[in-house]
């Protein structure tokens, strides 16, 4: 086993300053807007979420976007090609994947449905089969 080097005070100070504002680390929970039209579209990546967590987050985002007057939301779900549920005979092959379960969840939730104009697959430039566009009603 090798002995660890002593860390200099300068390195410690540099690290403390860095962790106060780590600008080069991407925070998946931080939701950012796309730049094509201010206030028009909100985008969120659901990769890595379980079905329950994704549905909860989708509801939270839709209600938040309604309050902030967004016109549409782009949910990036992925295509489900890495899903390991295909081998489980007790799990639905479609509804166990976000790309199918998220639209179904939105359409079955009456609180969300009153704010949603349409739910559709995204255009190829926006992610195609791996993304969903939710258009919101103007209230």
pLDDT tens across 104-120, in order? 999 999 989 999 999 99
Across the chain, what does the average pLDDT equal?
78
Please compute the mean of the pLDDT values over residues 48-71 and round it to a whole number: 91
* 122-to-65, 78, 97, 112, 126 alpha-carbon distances in Å: 18, 11, 16, 19, 6
- Domains of the chain (ranges; CATH) run 26-136 (3.30.1370.110)
Return the minimum-mean-pLDDT range out of 64-73, 76-85, 94-103: 76-85
Q: With a cut of 90, say whether residue 82 has pLDDT above it.
A: no
């Amino acid at each position: 086993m090798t002995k660890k080097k002593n860390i200099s005070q300068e390195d410690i100070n540099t690290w403390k300053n860095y962790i106060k504002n780590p600008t080069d680390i991407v925070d998946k929970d931080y939701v950012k807007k796309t730049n094509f039209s201010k206030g028009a579209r909100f985008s969120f990546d659901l990769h890595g979420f379980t079905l329950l967590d994704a549905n909860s987050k989708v509801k939270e985002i839709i209600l938040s976007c309604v309050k902030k007057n967004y016109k549409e939301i782009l949910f990036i779900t992925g295509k489900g090609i890495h899903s390991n549920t295909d081998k489980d005979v007790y799990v639905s092959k479609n509804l166990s994947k976000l790309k199918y379960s998220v639209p179904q969840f939105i359409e079955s939730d009456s609180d969300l449905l009153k704010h949603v104009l349409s739910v559709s697959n995204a255009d190829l430039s926006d992610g195609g089969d791996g993304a969903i566009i939710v258009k919101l009603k103007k209230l």
